[in-house]
Amino acid sequence: MTKDIKKFFNITASLVIGSLILWNCEPDADQLGSQFFQNGAQGIDSTYSVIAYSVNNNDTIRTDETRLQSATLGAFNEPQFGLQKSAYVSQVRLSSYSPDFGTNAVLDSAVLVIKPSYASDSATTTTADDYIYPVGAVPAKKVVVTYPVTKYGKTKIDGKTLFNIKVNEVNDFLGSNTDKIFSNKAVTTGNLLANKVFNGTINSIKITKDSDNSDLYIREASLRIALDSAFFQNKIIAKASSPELADAASFIRYFKGLKLSVEQNDGYIFNFDPNSVVINLYYKKDKVENGTTTREEGVFPLDLGSANTHFNQITYDRTNAPAASVAAVQDTISGMLKVYAQGMGGPGIGIKIPETTIASIKDLYNNDKAGIISAKLRLYTDVASWSNNYQKPSYFVVKQKDLNTYLEDMSTLAYTGVYNLVKSYDLDKNPAKYEIGITQTLKNIVEKEAKSRHFILNVGNYTYDQTGALLGSFYADLGAQNFNTRSYTPHRAVFVGTDPGNARSAQLIITYGKK
């Protein structure tokens, strides 16, 4: 991918994370083939069993800078899927090279700042009307707004909301930000630079002057982690004139990067913006004025944004978890009673329409002159295995096996207003129901002898630009299916697979018109 395309992707990508639009109010028929309702035609529903199985994605997925429009951090452990744990690794760059920190520059503090996703409608506000702003002892008002970080998993760990977030120096050279990196990439780490107890909330601060209500200080909601100031004094401030700080190529080999991880093996996973991560170095230097020397404050940012190689490192422990069987069994002949779907590289769902079913539908088409009005795949979550309060997946990325393009339904009908790839129902209940619209795809199989009868579903959604256009439409040569949120969507669920006699077994439902 060229730098221009990457820049466009990073600027225009509008993230679709967590809860997505539900389509409950949409009509069931997608209006393809609706002409068959005219002149006395009738719509007839017919239900067919399909072969559903779990797809082994090898617990890996690309999580490099190109794919990672949102990053994840945390750990979540539950009985069906076991442990999923996410760490974050990034290079660091100077905001300017061969920096001049001034005479007798001494670092006061180094602060890592990240911006997690948070629930803006659950804020708690604390106001200090008698606050004295320390610079100039100015009478002021200080307003602190506290937001809970958006979490997936357990909101509390042992009755608390605490995580220990560790920050370590990376010892390995991380390469170029155009490199393909998968989530199972390991790096060696060195110095521990921080170990912060995180309570699951972040704060914004606003300080206004009492006399005229003007702003004295504004800080956006963020997670701030104090780093080892002695390390950065020696590594950066004291090395200002050194060749290691002279250019980017030298610096990323001298200071190779940072790794953020959590100490615990259970709790929750949260998302944050990887391209706004920064380290602020707060220091003082000598200032000589009219023969008098004073200490002047300075701030020097270190950039961890899109110019840097960065990726999520995702690890698993599926000991005694039913999802572990996915790697051993992928039954595409008879299907599996339960199927597992998990974001961030976990398993997906395969659905195959049997040849006998295709033959039956072709017979309707050829002999009875039936026209397919709508076709959809239907799935239910498994009540026995997945009755909990964890947020369910609300969308899937869907493709035909061995193809990296959109379903034809999606590529041709995405903007018609009458088609939705995935409709999800009752996500706050058990079971939840999902329907995947495949009308045009099935018509191609029946009417045009298209060969693929096999669909792959993975947890996530497609990414769109600011105009609402699918990003994959612009870069079809790069694979339309690559433009999605799979690598940073942590949701998962257990579904009913191919279970004869079970009314919630995976199904194909077609509506056809016949005179």
Checking if the pLDDT of 230 tops 90, the result is yes
Q: What is the mean pLDDT of residues 454-461?
A: 97
Q: Which strand (E) or helix (H) includes residue 8? A: helix 3-12
Q: Please indicate whether residue 446 or residue 27 has the higher confidence score (pLDDT).
A: 446
Strands 433-437, 422-425: pairing kind: antiparallel
pLDDT of residue 419: 81
Residue 153 near residue 344, CB atoms below 8 Å: no
pLDDT of residue 38: 47
Residue 257 near residue 92, CB atoms below 8 Å: yes
pLDDT of residue 132: 96
pLDDT of residue 452: 83
The model's confidence at residue 476, banded by pLDDT at 50, 70 and 90, is low
One-letter amino acid at 68 equals: L
pLDDT tens readout for residues 172-219? 999 999 999 999 999 999 999 999 999 999 999 999 999 999 999 999
Q: Please indicate whether residue 46 or residue 12 has the higher confidence score (pLDDT).
A: 46
Range in 28-32, 210-214, 258-262, 432-436 the model is least confident about: 28-32
pLDDT of residue 32: 47
pLDDT tens readout for residues 420-443? 899 999 999 999 999 999 999 999
CA distance 298 to 313: 34
pLDDT of residue 41: 52
The closest alpha carbon to 181, from 407, 453, 419, 487, belongs to: 487
The model's confidence at residue 473, banded by pLDDT at 50, 70 and 90, is confident
pLDDT tens readout for residues 119-175? 999 999 999 999 999 989 999 999 999 999 999 999 877 777 789 999 999 999 999
One-letter amino acid at 373 equals: I
One-letter amino acid at 225 equals: I
CA distance 281 to 294: 19
Which alpha helices (DSSP H) does 245-351 contain, by range? 248-254
